[in-house]
Copies of this chain bind each other. A is one copy, B any other.
Amino acid sequence: MDWKTIDACRRCETLPQRVEVRGWVRTRRDSKGGFSFIEVNDGTCLGNLQVVAPGELDNYASEVQKLTAGCSVVVQGELVESPAKGQSTELHAQSVRVIGWCDGETYPLQKKRHSFEKLREWSHLRARTNTLGAVMRVRNRLSQSIHRFFDDAGFYYLHTPIVTASDCEGAGEMFRVTTLDLEKLAGSNRPFDPSQDFFGKPTHLTVSGQLEGETYASALSKIYTFGPTFRAENSNTSRHLAEFWMVEPEAAFFDLRDNMKLAESFLKHIFSDVLEHCAEDMEFFDQRIEKGKIDQVKSVIEKPFEHMTYTEAVDRLTSSKESFEYPVKWGIDLQAEHEKYLTQLVDGPLILTDYPSTIKPFYMRVSDDEKTVAAMDVLVPGVGEIIGGSQREERLDVLLRRMNEAGLDEKEYWWYIDLRRFGSVPHAGFGLGLERAVQYATGMTNIRDVIPFPRTPGNAEF
């Protein structure tokens, strides 16, 4: 007999059809009529496929009636229109083969609802739950969409190094990478010699691929990175990860205006893709995680982004009647409460530009007023900053002055400085934290629940 193997999500084909479906049991319910309903999920979509298993199956009493949540099965049968409400098809089983049993006593994912916190202890299993499965499908769709957007726009995907001897931010808490035997080192009581290490010098995990990205933008014109970045910040909050994924486009001959346009069309593109391709999952987030989520995401897609300078923003904030926890004056870093006020004020996404140079890194381009730099932050309603970027300083003398002010060693950055010696061009870029984007799309409040295996202080299981 000929069985066509299909994913559980492919339920809209011509019916009836003889198919085979493979997946994991979510629930089993025995009917008084002498048959069972088995909800099967294979991770390809949120909804379970309902299998109707008749009592006539050879293994009905011996196996089917013993199925519990988590068991893996292969079901062959006829996919038909469902008479039941809320599902379009069901599978009338002609055979139910049990592939792997699952002990109901010890399986962590019982029918009862677990807190997200609890689920984090079972990161190897939690994608089998509705919410985490949906999050990971959205994360995948955003990632795919990011690649397609930049590929279609002529940006080359660039793999910047993970282990690095440089430090993009000039500060930042970094993880050390070493092959030295720490145990031996501790007992040695000899002066420490970093030249004995694998790379012959101290190396760390990258905090950003931007500086290396700039070098390739100065050769291939348009590049983007999409890879893991690291912060050794000892912050045990719902907003921090020690390891997360960043997207960083960089384009030669781009100024701040070009950069703003790119960021806007980029965000519109990736969120449209998610709404289109993850409709069922997004419906779930809208109903179960954050009411109004879909409308909020739509507003980013549909509304033109407003533009406002930092200076104007400060004026608006200081002239408002709002009482802020952090008082506002020109020169401060804007806080979440300020960003929230501003996005509410314009009722949509907002790009703030031209920040004081004193609160921004050395590589941002100094403007003619000498007080501000060509920086931009993209704020979206509900989350605040989702993208940060800038036009980069392409003038050798200004860059060297800024590095000097920041206390950076020119020798360490000789290759970065070289770009300003040899055919320097105006260029610009930005960074998007993938996890922030997934949080924005899904409404998940804890960043640990939007990455498969979160890394935080004290946590590197798996």
Give A contacts to B, CB under 8 Å. 7, 22-25, 42-44, 70-72, 74, 99-103, 106-107, 123-125, 127-128, 133, 136-137, 139-140, 143-144, 147-148, 151, 154, 156-166, 173, 175-180, 182-183, 185-192, 194, 198-201, 203, 205, 212, 215-216, 218-221, 227-228, 230, 232, 234, 242-243, 245, 252-253, 394, 415-416, 418-426, 451-453, 455, 457-462
A451 CB contacts on chain B under 8 angstroms:
159
A182 partner, pick from B127, B163, B192, B460, beta carbons under 8 A: B192
Known: A137-B220, A161-B452, A187-B192. 6 other contacts (CB 8 A): A22-B221, A22-B253, A177-B177, A186-B191, A198-B458, A203-B460
Bound-state Cα–Cα, A99 to B424, Å: 7
Bound-state Cα–Cα, A232 to B198, Å: 8
The answer to whether B151 touches A243, judged by C-beta atoms less than 8 angstroms apart, is no
Bound-state Cα–Cα, A443 to B452, Å: 36
> In the assembled complex, how far is the CB of residue A276 from the closest CB belonging to chain B, in whole angstroms?
14
- Quick one: closest B residue to A142, CB to CB? B157
A424 CB contacts on chain B under 8 angstroms:
72, 99-100
> In the assembled complex, how far is the CB of residue A145 from the closest CB belonging to chain B, in whole angstroms?
10
The answer to whether A179 touches B179, judged by C-beta atoms less than 8 angstroms apart, is no
The answer to whether B452 touches A216, judged by C-beta atoms less than 8 angstroms apart, is yes
A124 CB contacts on chain B under 8 angstroms:
212, 215, 415-416, 418-419
> In the assembled complex, how far is the CB of residue A328 from the closest CB belonging to chain B, in whole angstroms?
35
A186 CB contacts on chain B under 8 angstroms:
185-186, 188-192
Q: Given A177-B175, A189-B186, A212-B453, A24 and B458 touching (CB < 8 A)? A: no
The answer to whether B192 touches A136, judged by C-beta atoms less than 8 angstroms apart, is no
A422 CB contacts on chain B under 8 angstroms:
70, 100, 102-103, 107, 125
A163 partner, pick from B24, B140, B460, beta carbons under 8 A: B460
- Quick one: closest B residue to A211, CB to CB? B462
The answer to whether B221 touches A42, judged by C-beta atoms less than 8 angstroms apart, is yes
Bound-state Cα–Cα, A136 to B420, Å: 22
Bound-state Cα–Cα, A459 to B418, Å: 19
13 CB contacts below 8 A, A to B, read A42-B252, A107-B421, A124-B212, A127-B219, A128-B218, A144-B157, A163-B243, A164-B462, A180-B182, A198-B457, A200-B458, A203-B460, A212-B453
> In the assembled complex, how far is the CB of residue A350 from the closest CB belonging to chain B, in whole angstroms?
28
